[in-house]
Structure 1
Amino acid sequence: MNSLFKRLLRNRLAGTRRSSRRLHTQPHSHPHPLLATFSRLCVEGPFATALALLPDLASVGLRADPVSLTRLVKLCVRHGMASDGRLIHRHVAAYGALPHGGGGGLFVSNSLVSMYAKFGLLDDALMLFDGMPERNVVTWTTVVAALANADGRKEEALRFLVAMRRDGVAPNAYTFSSVLGACGTPGVLAAMHASTVKVGLDSDVFVRSSLIDAYMKLGDLDGGRGVFDEMVTGDLVVWNSIIAGFAQSGDGAGAIELFVRMKDAGFSANQGTLTSVLRACTGMVMLEVGRQVHAHVIKYQKDLILHNALLDMYCKCGSLQDAGALFRRMPQRDVISWSTMISGLAQNGRSTEALRVFDLMKSEGVAPNRITLVGVLFACSHAGLVEDGWYYFKSMEKLFGIRPEREHHNCMVDLLGRAGKLDEAVEFIHEMSLDADSVIWRTLLGACRMHKNANLAAYAAREILKLEPDDQGARVLLSNTYADLQQWTDAEKPWKAMRDRGMKKEPGRSWIELEKQVHVFIAGDLSHPISDSIVQELNRLIGRISALGYVPQTEFVLQDLAIEQKEDLLKYHSEKLAIAFGTMHAMEGKPIRIMKNLRICGDCHAFAKLVSKSEGKVIIIRDPVRFHHFQDGTCSCGDYW
């Protein structure tokens, strides 16, 4: 408040000081001008001006009404600091509506408790709470919710809920919604769920939504689905909770199935729903469902988070044409948008284009972050651009102010390893400023297997097992490295160690989307309902590509077996079964898209290349690291993967 305004107020106060007592004793008189000004400022602001009037009110013995004080507290939360909040509290305690002053006092005290909680000052909130002679459901719920949302204080929230009920205050829907997330064990959650049923609040939309979230948080998908299925009437909030829960728990098929049901029930998806479903489509590589979601995204043109999720979905489903079109049309793009496009291009075998997009990003003045540089280094690694990779890695901090982190070091080990510079990769690991973790050693081990360096593979595997004694992948890779060299005795030792520990190798799985359904294939498993037809189609494809020069590469069967047995094992690899299923149901002009949980083997890679030529089809296979786009007998990876 400026000095002129303060002088005018003081002059006005001087003329009315003697009558102030009389004004207080006449309830029907007009409010004091200073009180009227204060009340107006508490509604309209500015906050600093309203706060500055508190000493003036106190100096003439005026007491602000509870409504104005509560409004001032809300302004403080919005525009002030904790120190301002404490100043208001001191004024209220000395001059304002006191906690023991009836309903108005409780109203003000509740707002102060809430203020302290929102500033993260829980101990101050609890101290005020403890001194209140009167508390209602709002008081208790404010404290319970604040404790439930605070790190390390969730059990305290549950204890306060028990104390609340002992104090004769019945929790309301908001109380239960707030505290359900604090249930850290299935037993506690079950008891809390029973409590909501007992008081008849389990049908409340927010309680039901919180129950679903709580079950999902504990990994109990069936429990969350059970709560959802008990709904008498649907509600968008509950639909969002169940869909988000399945998407975040990795059960993408469940999230997509629920989304389809939601649309059939006539509900309009909001941004939260669409973001969750897009993430599920990304994980399951369900491009067609993702395209349907895109139709709902159009009305949210300014939602950058949603558009970035859509862009990520297209990139990770291998549809770079859709991704590029979306990227160019986006009304705004942030560093996440650029980084997603760069990584998407790199993962789909278009490393040179990824680096061009990086140059365009810099020219438009967008500063890269650490994720951007991971994508850039990935692009260099998967194209064998060793010199470019070294340049970007060494210039990160100087050019962009980004200190290389563990992911960037791992990219460099991958870059050097793929290029066959294994000794240089080991030297790089030893000279790192960071301690090498199991991920970095596993990257080196994968490169050793690729280049058949058994001695260095054994060294990398030992380093992994020091850090993670139960690591299955390290033993499998080491065994495969020995098997590549036909050192069968050495190859058997890691398997024996796994058997002694009761461990089993994860089988190869491939899956493909057809008419919104996902079909899963497992290596050597012919249990699919139309397996006979799939095998017949597979035999037809093998006959066609044999005429093009295909010969089973039995060296990729890492077992000491006869040639015929090796050929049979190769024939029923999961991606071959998925490809045969895909060619049976392929639509004109649409690629066959397959997801795989393990790295594609060399024989299946050759098989896919030749099938793409013989059938005139584009085949896209996504493994845990990258995409392979097969077309007319070639692959986007350039056989460098």
Structure 2
Amino acid sequence: MQNPNATILQLYHSGRLSAALRAFESLPASAPLSAAAYAALVGACSRLRSLPHGRLIHRHLLASSPDGAGLARNTVLSNHLITMYGRCAAPDSARAVFDGMPDRNPVSWAAVIAAHAQNGRCADAVGMFSSMLRAGTAPDQFALGSTARACAELGDVGLGRQVHAQAIKSEDGSDLIVQNALVTMYSKSGSVGDGLTLFERIRDKDLISWGSIIAGLAQQGCEMEALRIFREMIAEGMHLPNEFHFGSVFRACGVFDSLEFGEQIHSLSVKYMLDRDSYAGCSLSDMYARCNKLESARKVFYRIEAPDLVSWNSLINAYSAKGLLSEAMVLFSEMRDSGLRPDGITVRGLLCACVGYDALSQGRAIHSYLVKLGLDRDVTVCNSLLSMYARCLDFPSAMDVFNETNDRDVVTWNSILTACVQSQRLEDVFRLFSLLHRSVSSLDRISLSNVLSASAELGYFEMVKQIHAYAFKVGLVSDTMLSNGLIDTYAKCGSLDDANKLFKIMGTGRDVFSWSSLIVGYAQFGYAKEALDLFARMRNLGIKPNHVTFVGVLTACSRVGLVDEGCYYYSIMEPEYGIVPTREHCSCVIDLLARAGRLSEAAKFVDQMPFEPDIIMWKTLLAASKTHNDVEMGKRAAEGILNIDPSHSAAYVLLCNIYASSGNWDEFARLKKAMRSSGVQKSPGKSWIKLKGELKVFIVEDRSHPEADEIYTMLELVGMEMVKSGYIPELPRHSCKYTSFDHTDLLNEEILVEYG
């Protein structure tokens, strides 16, 4: 090569960057190069993001100046090197070049600030900007722009305002680069109003100006304003929208659930031939998915010319979010066939669609595949796995995933606690919560809410008080969700006074869940007047009740026999409040009518309601039939239960009791014989109590309890005292033929009282 400098410069300026680097590689190690050739080579590495070549050229440059003088100390070349290292994701190398410079100019500072800001070292970028000011160097538009973008990434609007103040004082502060960066900073930092004000003051806006404010408004929940600005840009006619503008407005339409606007903008994107762009097309597909138009989302997706992994993940997650696991798995298979490798987002989306026992096999298949990919070491994937097994009712596998997760985060702990609550592994909740408390410096509201749920199930009042005290200590007591959980748990533990006190303390912070929790609590413990008075107050304050509120109201009416009032409240649910009655509401109405002895009306309601009756509804009718000696209704209710669950022992037992109460011993004997031939056995009653941090479980006629002798001795004593006091057990008529009496049988319900 006769003149390597000329050759390299010619190749670089003609855009043949790789050829320029090959020409350099063919040179002898000692071949001298000019500053212009070095600058061209470093620029080629920068544009190609080729760090290995960049380091090679840097070493060649240093070797050409063994005494430390010459080109190695050239400020312009050093600035090129800093820029190259920044673009090649090597900010430490950029800083090393900067620190070794004997003379720095504003470009040097701007380059090193940009090198840090571009690579996520935003705090360092802001620190370099401060050092620049202390050194007495005036920042140019590039330094100001990079620092403003660093503040945006940090989400620190306070620092951003200081940069804005420096920009106002600077000669280059009015440059469009700086103004656009400041608009982005305000938008990303939650001060989108300031960003909009600044945007409107920009006289000569460019595409970046429009894109910055549209994206900021869309991301900060100002979707309609984002659409207004986009329309203004189109109407102005000075700039053609690009894929990023369309991506932002499609996202705004999706969040705002505005299919009409989305379809109009879709037509506009077709006009500009951007509907097949990977970025805009992905956002368009996501918009249709959010608007429940999955088929449209799929059609748009298949029109994208070269969908990348982000595009595939978006569509797969859209189907998964709707619970369409089979369709999501088909897309997953197509993605793999296209040659793309799934990532953590892909498998997390698929796992979210696995719900119920029927999806367990597919969940396990996904688990095996992600282990093969090595994604099982990602804690976010492990968290999704854990939740998947919990949703698919496989608690042991969920616990296995938890035990095998090394770097557990708070989501991991909360996921396993939630799984324990859902699986009624209440002892495990307290055991794991104790471990969590020792493992982390502070607990969040999700962890505490899970423990409250377990405490409510067990009536563990002491734990509720401890959670309340802890929440007060760390400042979580003002959290509405946690306070509602405390009200609900206090009520379920029977401490309505504590529930009411906390309800009053919440003041204006109360929401519909606060009111509903206390109403349900009063209703469940028979305080119907208090529940209905609270409901009246709630309505007078204009607070719209929810479905839980009406469960409490209907329960309250049922407990005190306010049948007409209960039926009235049921009748106004949908027309006045838009609440469609659920199974739970229907169960309440059946209970309301059955308790009052209006069994024919209850049966008619069962026949007319929009649901198939479940076991709870039939059991309600069956229990009421026993109370009111209605044999025919009892038979119908028992048949309803046995059609759903042929082995349901309670139905046989209650029907036997009805026959015995009515003296129908032939039917009684026939049913008993049927129970024996079918192998149906009565499930023993079980109760539990939490005492001194330990769960005590009691089963009817159980002699395996370690303290059984002491318990039954105490029961005998209590039983004798009750008889001495004049207690006479109420036994059904005609039942002497099949029933014998002893104190232990009568007093099984007293075990908890005596023990606790």
| In 2, Cα distance between equivalents of 1:77 and 1:417 | 48
Higher alpha-carbon deviation: 371-380 or 139-148: 371-380
Is 2:710 the partner of 1:533? yes
Relative to structure 1, the CA distance from residue 440 to residue 245 in structure 2 (aligned partners, 3 Å threshold; closer, same or farther) is closer
Is 2:647 the partner of 1:475? no
CA displacement 1:160-186 (0-9 Å, x = unmatched): 222222322111111111111234533
| In 2, Cα distance between equivalents of 1:229 and 1:67 | 43
Amino acid at match of 1:51: F
Normalised TM-score (structure 1): 0.74
| In 2, Cα distance between equivalents of 1:279 and 1:82 | 39
1:527 CA displacement: 0.7
| In 2, Cα distance between equivalents of 1:530 and 1:228 | 35
Superposition pairs of residues 591-606 of structure 1, within 5 angstroms: none
Relative to structure 1, the CA distance from residue 125 to residue 482 in structure 2 (aligned partners, 3 Å threshold; closer, same or farther) is closer
Is 2:437 the partner of 1:266? no
2:488 is aligned, of 312, 318, 329, to: 312
2:499 is aligned, of 304, 319, 323, to: 323
Contact residue 64 and residue 96 of structure 1 kept, 8 A? no
1:498 is aligned, of 670, 675, 692, to: 675
Relative to structure 1, the CA distance from residue 461 to residue 559 in structure 2 (aligned partners, 3 Å threshold; closer, same or farther) is farther
1:524 CA displacement: 0.8
Contact residue 716 and residue 744 of structure 2 kept, 8 A? no
SS in 1 for 2:334: helix
Name the counterpart of 2:306: 134
Name the counterpart of 2:4: none
Relative to structure 1, the CA distance from residue 192 to residue 430 in structure 2 (aligned partners, 3 Å threshold; closer, same or farther) is closer
2:463 is aligned, of 281, 289, 305, to: 289
Gaps of 5+ in 1: 1-29, 100-104, 583-641
Relative to structure 1, the CA distance from residue 295 to residue 558 in structure 2 (aligned partners, 3 Å threshold; closer, same or farther) is farther
| In 2, Cα distance between equivalents of 1:276 and 1:124 | 40
Relative to structure 1, the CA distance from residue 139 to residue 409 in structure 2 (aligned partners, 3 Å threshold; closer, same or farther) is closer
1:52 is aligned, of 231, 253, 256, to: 231
SS in 1 for 2:336: helix
Amino acid at match of 1:230: E
CA displacement 1:378-437 (0-9 Å, x = unmatched): 334333x4xx43244346646983799576665565455545xx4x43256447882594
| In 2, Cα distance between equivalents of 1:350 and 1:146 | 46
Is 2:374 the partner of 1:195? no
Relative to structure 1, the CA distance from residue 395 to residue 352 in structure 2 (aligned partners, 3 Å threshold; closer, same or farther) is closer
Superposition pairs of residues 125-204 of structure 1, within 5 angstroms: 125-151=297-323, 153-183=324-354, 184-204=358-378
Relative to structure 1, the CA distance from residue 213 to residue 500 in structure 2 (aligned partners, 3 Å threshold; closer, same or farther) is same
Aligned length: 536
1:523 CA displacement: 0.7
Structure (1 or 2) with the larger CA radius of gyration: 2
Relative to structure 1, the CA distance from residue 154 to residue 97 in structure 2 (aligned partners, 3 Å threshold; closer, same or farther) is same
Contact residue 47 and residue 79 of structure 1 kept, 8 A? no
Name the counterpart of 2:726: 549
1:110 is aligned, of 282, 296, 299, to: 282
Is 2:286 the partner of 1:120? no
Contact residue 711 and residue 755 of structure 2 kept, 8 A? yes
Amino acid at match of 1:530: E
SS in 1 for 2:555: helix
Amino acid at match of 2:726: G
| In 2, Cα distance between equivalents of 1:68 and 1:428 | 60
Relative to structure 1, the CA distance from residue 466 to residue 219 in structure 2 (aligned partners, 3 Å threshold; closer, same or farther) is closer
| In 2, Cα distance between equivalents of 1:451 and 1:431 | 18
Name the counterpart of 2:521: 344
| In 1, Cα distance between equivalents of 2:735 and 2:444 | 50
CA displacement 1:446-475 (0-9 Å, x = unmatched): 123224454653455456556766654332
Higher alpha-carbon deviation: 299-308 or 222-231: 299-308
Is 2:451 the partner of 1:277? yes
SS in 2 for 1:510: strand
Superposition pairs of residues 63-74 of structure 1, within 5 angstroms: 63-74=240-251
Amino acid at match of 2:310: V
Relative to structure 1, the CA distance from residue 442 to residue 543 in structure 2 (aligned partners, 3 Å threshold; closer, same or farther) is closer
Higher RCO structure (Cα 8 Å, ≥6 apart): 1
- C-alpha RMSD of matched pairs (Å): 3.6
SS in 1 for 2:375: coil
1:401 is aligned, of 566, 576, 583, to: 576
| In 2, Cα distance between equivalents of 1:325 and 1:66 | 56
Higher alpha-carbon deviation: 308-317 or 362-371: 362-371
Contact residue 590 and residue 605 of structure 2 kept, 8 A? no
SS in 2 for 1:250: coil
Contact residue 312 and residue 340 of structure 1 kept, 8 A? yes
Is 2:553 the partner of 1:376? yes
Relative to structure 1, the CA distance from residue 180 to residue 579 in structure 2 (aligned partners, 3 Å threshold; closer, same or farther) is same
CA displacement 1:308-335 (0-9 Å, x = unmatched): 2221211111111221212221233334
Contact residue 480 and residue 558 of structure 1 kept, 8 A? no
| In 2, Cα distance between equivalents of 1:460 and 1:92 | 61
Name the counterpart of 2:173: none
Contact residue 642 and residue 648 of structure 2 kept, 8 A? yes
| In 2, Cα distance between equivalents of 1:338 and 1:378 | 15
Contact residue 346 and residue 354 of structure 1 kept, 8 A? yes
SS in 1 for 2:608: coil
Contact residue 244 and residue 277 of structure 1 kept, 8 A? no
Contact residue 243 and residue 259 of structure 1 kept, 8 A? yes
CA displacement 1:495-546 (0-9 Å, x = unmatched): 3333333322221111111123221111111111222222233233334444
Name the counterpart of 2:404: 230
Amino acid at match of 1:357: L
> Identity across aligned pairs (percent)?
30
| In 2, Cα distance between equivalents of 1:407 and 1:191 | 36
2:745 is aligned, of 539, 545, 570, to: 570
Contact residue 634 and residue 658 of structure 2 kept, 8 A? yes
| In 1, Cα distance between equivalents of 2:363 and 2:213 | 46
| In 1, Cα distance between equivalents of 2:242 and 2:739 | 93
| In 2, Cα distance between equivalents of 1:559 and 1:375 | 40
Contact residue 257 and residue 290 of structure 2 kept, 8 A? no
